[in-house]
Chains A and B, each alone.
Chain A
Amino acid sequence: MKGVLLPLLLLSTNVMAYATNEPPDWVRQAARQEVPKYSVKVTSVVLFHEETLTVEPDGRRVMRERKAIKILQRSSDTPVATRVYNVKSGTIRDFQGWLVAPSGTAQAYEKNRILDVALSQQAVYDEARVKVLESRDADAGSIFAWEVVEEEKTVFTQAIHDFQDEMPVLVSRFVLTLPATWEAQGVIFNSEHIDPQLSGNTYIWELRNLPWTEREEFGPSLDALWPRLAVSYYPPSGNRAALPSLNNWASVSRWLSQLVDSAAEATDPVRTKASQLTANATTELEKIRAIGSFVQQTNYVDVQLNLTKGGGYTPRRADETLAKNYGDCKDKATLMRALLKAAGIESYLTTIYSGDRNFVRPEWASPLQFNHAIIAIRVPETVALPTVFEAPGLGRLLMFDPTDSITPVGDLPESQQGSQALILDGDQGALVRMPQLPARASRIESSVEAVMDTSGRIEARLQQEYFGQSGKPLLAVHKLRGEEGLKRKFEQVWSQQLIGMKLDRLEAVSRFEQNSLRLDARLTADRFGEVMQNRLIVLRPGMLAGIRTYSFKSRQRTSPIELNGALHQDSVKVKIPSGFKLDELPPPVMIETPYGTLQGAWTLDNDEIVFKQTLEIRSVTAPAAEFPQVRDFFDKVAGALTAPVVLISE
């Protein structure tokens, strides 16, 4: 019997080898497309991208992805094929890749070129993994193509298709096939609405000729700009897989609430801890602060387990997080809920997108739009903080992020302010916009007193106080690298604009509950004043006022400009060296725009040059068409910092 089979097997192997080297027709077809002329910055173009999702009656899904990329020019950015999957809920059934040389010769990638790696570098253990195939040695004109098939068992009845990523795209398509009697609805963000082509119970959404998007300073994240399709599908009620129908935010809140609420139980260990933490607290706010500080100290460790049953959204039990002293964002928020409950304070877990305040779209009710969990605490009228707001139907709420260890109660991380978040309260839950704190909450007050000698050298005392989010980057350095790290950072930044700068002393005082960081520095700068023939000294007092944060390299703009509110109040005094007097002062500056205001004045006060400036940046998202005006405003801000004062010998 064996003897008969062997030749057949050999034949079959040969055919397979030939078949895998020759790419399938869809690759050859994609390769025949005409590619338009793109910017020189574009190195590759997606010729064809298709995701085909087939849903079984029990909710299992099979996703086949096909993608073909043409390399337009050699670059260090090598295209990579990736597919993320979850080891518990899914498997990669097949992964094949091909490289078609400009001559048309094709080569299939060996299976051992496909790597399987953990998705997160931070997570101790994570079920999420990714298959990776790199297109090495691809010359300009080559086509890199791959096909991957993933099978997944999931409770989710929604899917996202990204029509685009870093490259321009010629054709991108999402194909959804549902069991009979099921229905689907899709919405496309960042592109005109299109209706799907419907054939039986197969839906097809397709976009063509998507241009390249350039990353721009102070712009939204590219994820928030690229066209993406959000699809929800609806099984008939009473379906055997008990899949949820998420058709509005209340239904998403209801579904997530049943995943999260039971974990926030105030068990005995939780009650004991809450009593300890609030023993000296006399007001509700003091209790919230005491509990908030404790949960912020709980170590952040990302562990995602049991995704099949909504694990990515199910926190661990609060008493378990308390006992182990670690958890991820939803674990920490749940621990805080339980401790607050034990202290008699009601709160809600809140899901949010951390990273871009414009990412979440209200028109698609889905948990897939969020990547982070924070907490909404019900507070009485006596608690008056900038992060308290009235949520329709939910009452007066104080928002807080217990995962951010340097932002205290009363403040919110910058990227979360003004963004849409879902407060989970069963059927009463709602998507609401988070409070946007006033610019004053993120102010920097700076005061400098300097004495200059006839060589232009100054000795200066610089005192700066950072409030709210303005101080977070420095606080993060202070927390991670200590005083020494902060000193290095200070020297690095200030030596860019003060030539020959030497830092003699730096004291940092962090007042966590006041949400401020105070720096007191003594420094010298050899060439603050530029001396010309011992007769003229030119100095720029604004260079002591602050660091130039806002600059735009390009003259063109395609994406909106996102500005975060901030207030800078600067006072600089420079004592004139003996033998010199004032020759020229810059005229005062007064600019008012929708993006911010600037008031600056240079005066002579006895033997001191005094520069005072107030710069307020408004929290706005300006359309790209307003870029010239935005840029003009910030050019003037930069101009005030470098405006020269001229001294002349007496």
Chain B
Amino acid sequence: MRVSDAKTPVFVQTETTPAKSSVEAKKGSFSLSVNGELEGDAEETFTGHRAFDLRSELREESQERREEWLRNRVIEMFPDAEVTEIAVENCDDPTQPLRFRYHLLAPQYAQVAGRRIFFHILPFQRSRPSPFSASERRNPVQFPYAWTETDAVRIRPPAGFVLDNASAPGGIGFGAAGGYNLTVAVGDNGQVIANRELTFVGTYFDAKDYPVVKQVFSEIQKRNTHTLALIKQ
């Protein structure tokens, strides 16, 4: 940025917003049925640039259209889902976090295989692909801003089922670019509790660093799609 001055104009680098100012936070409390259906309440909250991006998309739309947009967005994540009690809040108030709420019924969320049921522990992340599919790249990678993602999910297994050889993939650090952490715990009544946090502060990478960036997002995707097995007691 150039700061004008009649005698000594100067160029200064503008500050970038920290990752904690652009947060995408997702919460859900669900139950899983014996035929693999996932049902429960979900809430997604967005701040900073993340909220701005979504508000830009929704700005021209009526409240009804915004809710329809949200319904379609959820169905993209959970094909065949029934989405009810939809609420889009604070879309026109940039001083508040943008918030989506809905009740979800997602058939065939988990897969039933003989005695076991396999399910993803991060419902909001499982269908999110890595942004990098090409094996090579000629141009630098540039993210528009630093950001943070958090997921707090509780999934209650069907009665009579317990975890089978459960594991947690753990976290990874990306050095100065940020880090990822995923914890999995078992709460009351066998409820599976997953907490995830991704912080990404690197916004520019030379093309020569592309293999590393690709690998990082591939590792993130692996953890985002972590599966647990339940077995009938």
A interface residues with partner B (beta carbon < 8 Å): 40-41, 43, 73-76, 140, 487-488, 491-492, 495-496, 499-503, 526-527, 530-533, 535-536, 538, 551, 553, 555, 584, 586, 635, 639, 642-644, 646
Is the pair A553, B79 in contact by a Cβ cutoff of 8 Å? yes
Is the pair A76, B227 in contact by a Cβ cutoff of 8 Å? no
**Chain B hits for A500, CB < 8 A:** 218-219, 221-222
Q: Given A43-B65, A553-B79, are A526 and B229 also a contact pair (CB < 8 Å)?
A: no
Q: Given A495-B130, A535-B165, are A527 and B64 also a contact pair (CB < 8 Å)?
A: no
Chain B nearest CB: distance from A581 CB in Å?
Answer: 15
Q: Which residue of B lies closest to A73 (CB)?
A: B62
**Chain A hits for B189, CB < 8 A:** none
Chain B nearest CB: distance from A551 CB in Å?
Answer: 7
Chain A nearest CB: distance from B157 CB in Å?
Answer: 15
- Number of B residues contacting the other chain (C-beta, 8 Å)? 37
Contact of B225 among A73, A491, A499, A584 (CB under 8 A): A499
B6 within 8 A of A: no
**Chain A hits for B218, CB < 8 A:** 499-500, 526
Of residues 100 to 124 in B, which have CB atoms within 8 Å of A's CB atoms?
Answer: 108, 111, 113-116, 118
Top 9 closest A-B pairs, CB basis? Answer: A533-B165, A73-B62, A495-B133, A40-B64, A532-B165, A584-B114, A500-B218, A491-B133, A644-B113
B177 within 8 A of A: no
**Chain B hits for A635, CB < 8 A:** 80, 108
**Chain B hits for A639, CB < 8 A:** 108
Q: Given A491-B135, A538-B227, are A527 and B222 also a contact pair (CB < 8 Å)?
A: yes
Chain B nearest CB: distance from A542 CB in Å?
Answer: 12
**Chain A hits for B68, CB < 8 A:** 40-41
**Chain A hits for B75, CB < 8 A:** 553
Query: A643 CA to B76 CA in the complex, in Å?
Result: 21
Given contacts A491-B133, A495-B130, A643-B113, 10 further A-B contacts (CB under 8 A): A40-B68, A73-B62, A75-B61, A487-B135, A492-B134, A496-B129, A500-B221, A533-B167, A538-B118, A644-B118
Q: Which residue of B lies closest to A72 (CB)?
A: B62
Is the pair B165, A75 in contact by a Cβ cutoff of 8 Å? no
Is the pair B164, A495 in contact by a Cβ cutoff of 8 Å? no
B39 within 8 A of A: no
B5 within 8 A of A: no
Q: Which residue of B lies closest to A503 (CB)?
A: B135
Task: Supply 10 A–B pairs (Cβ within 8 Å), ascending by A.
Answer: A40-B68, A74-B61, A75-B60, A495-B129, A499-B221, A530-B118, A533-B166, A536-B165, A584-B113, A646-B116
Chain B nearest CB: distance from A538 CB in Å?
Answer: 6
**Chain B hits for A491, CB < 8 A:** 133-135
Query: A471 CA to B65 CA in the complex, in Å?
Result: 38
B151 within 8 A of A: no
**Chain B hits for A533, CB < 8 A:** 165-167
Query: A140 CA to B61 CA in the complex, in Å?
Result: 10
Is the pair A551, B79 in contact by a Cβ cutoff of 8 Å? yes
Q: Which residue of B lies closest to A495 (CB)?
A: B133
**Chain B hits for A496, CB < 8 A:** 129, 133
B24 within 8 A of A: no
Q: Which residue of B lies closest to A501 (CB)?
A: B133
**Chain B hits for A503, CB < 8 A:** 135
B228 within 8 A of A: yes
Is the pair B79, A538 in contact by a Cβ cutoff of 8 Å? no
**Chain B hits for A74, CB < 8 A:** 60-62, 65
**Chain A hits for B62, CB < 8 A:** 73-75, 140
Is the pair B111, A644 in contact by a Cβ cutoff of 8 Å? yes
Chain B nearest CB: distance from A643 CB in Å?
Answer: 7
B interface residues with partner A (beta carbon < 8 Å): 60-62, 64-65, 67-68, 72, 75-76, 79-80, 108, 111, 113-116, 118, 129-130, 133-135, 164-167, 218-219, 221-222, 225-229
Q: Which residue of A lies closest to B68 (CB)?
A: A40
Chain A nearest CB: distance from B58 CB in Å?
Answer: 10
**Chain B hits for A140, CB < 8 A:** 62
**Chain B hits for A532, CB < 8 A:** 164-167, 227-229
Chain A nearest CB: distance from B177 CB in Å?
Answer: 19
Residue of B134, B219, B228 with most chain A CB atoms under a 10 A cut-off: B134
Query: A500 CA to B219 CA in the complex, in Å?
Result: 8
Is the pair B225, A40 in contact by a Cβ cutoff of 8 Å? no
Query: A635 CA to B115 CA in the complex, in Å?
Result: 22
Is the pair B61, A536 in contact by a Cβ cutoff of 8 Å? no
Chain A nearest CB: distance from B216 CB in Å?
Answer: 11
**Chain B hits for A527, CB < 8 A:** 222, 225
Chain A nearest CB: distance from B192 CB in Å?
Answer: 13
**Chain A hits for B225, CB < 8 A:** 499, 527
Q: Which residue of B lies closest to A456 (CB)?
A: B222
Chain A nearest CB: distance from B83 CB in Å?
Answer: 11
Q: Which residue of A lies closest to B227 (CB)?
A: A530
Query: A46 CA to B132 CA in the complex, in Å?
Result: 44
**Chain A hits for B111, CB < 8 A:** 642-644
Contact of B222 among A499, A502, A555 (CB under 8 A): A499
**Chain B hits for A76, CB < 8 A:** 60-61
Query: A567 CA to B165 CA in the complex, in Å?
Result: 40
Chain A nearest CB: distance from B217 CB in Å?
Answer: 10
Query: A643 CA to B36 CA in the complex, in Å?
Result: 13
Q: Given A76-B60, A533-B166, A586-B113, are A526 and B222 also a contact pair (CB < 8 Å)?
A: yes
Q: Given A74-B61, A533-B167, A646-B113, are A538 and B229 also a contact pair (CB < 8 Å)?
A: yes
**Chain A hits for B72, CB < 8 A:** 553
Query: A508 CA to B136 CA in the complex, in Å?
Result: 18
Query: A483 CA to B62 CA in the complex, in Å?
Result: 45
**Chain B hits for A75, CB < 8 A:** 60-62, 65
**Chain B hits for A551, CB < 8 A:** 79
Chain A nearest CB: distance from B227 CB in Å?
Answer: 5
Q: Which residue of A lies closest to B229 (CB)?
A: A532
Is the pair B165, A73 in contact by a Cβ cutoff of 8 Å? no
Q: Which residue of B lies closest to A540 (CB)?
A: B111
Q: Which residue of A lies closest to B76 (CB)?
A: A553
Query: A500 CA to B114 CA in the complex, in Å?
Result: 28
Chain B nearest CB: distance from A114 CB in Å?
Answer: 24
Chain A nearest CB: distance from B207 CB in Å?
Answer: 15
Query: A267 CA to B202 CA in the complex, in Å?
Result: 68
Contact of B65 among A73, A492, A553 (CB under 8 A): A73
**Chain A hits for B164, CB < 8 A:** 532, 536
Chain B nearest CB: distance from A378 CB in Å?
Answer: 49
Q: Which residue of A lies closest to B129 (CB)?
A: A496
Query: A422 CA to B218 CA in the complex, in Å?
Result: 54
Query: A492 CA to B132 CA in the complex, in Å?
Result: 8
Chain A nearest CB: distance from B220 CB in Å?
Answer: 10
Query: A127 CA to B127 CA in the complex, in Å?
Result: 48
Chain B nearest CB: distance from A36 CB in Å?
Answer: 15
**Chain A hits for B113, CB < 8 A:** 538, 584, 586, 643-644, 646
**Chain A hits for B116, CB < 8 A:** 584, 646
**Chain A hits for B229, CB < 8 A:** 532, 536, 538
Q: Which residue of A lies closest to B66 (CB)?
A: A40
Residue of B64, B79, B133, B166 with most chain A CB atoms under a 10 A cut-off: B133
Q: Which residue of B lies closest to A584 (CB)?
A: B114
Chain A nearest CB: distance from B65 CB in Å?
Answer: 6
Query: A526 CA to B221 CA in the complex, in Å?
Result: 11
Chain B nearest CB: distance from A609 CB in Å?
Answer: 13
Query: A492 CA to B134 CA in the complex, in Å?
Result: 7
Query: A463 CA to B62 CA in the complex, in Å?
Result: 49
Chain B nearest CB: distance from A585 CB in Å?
Answer: 9
Query: A492 CA to B75 CA in the complex, in Å?
Result: 22
Q: Which residue of A lies closest to B82 (CB)?
A: A555
Residue of A532, A538, A635 with most chain B CB atoms under a 10 A cut-off: A532
Contact of A492 among B61, B133, B221 (CB under 8 A): B133
Q: Which residue of B lies closest to A502 (CB)?
A: B135
Query: A527 CA to B225 CA in the complex, in Å?
Result: 10
Q: Which residue of B lies closest to A140 (CB)?
A: B62
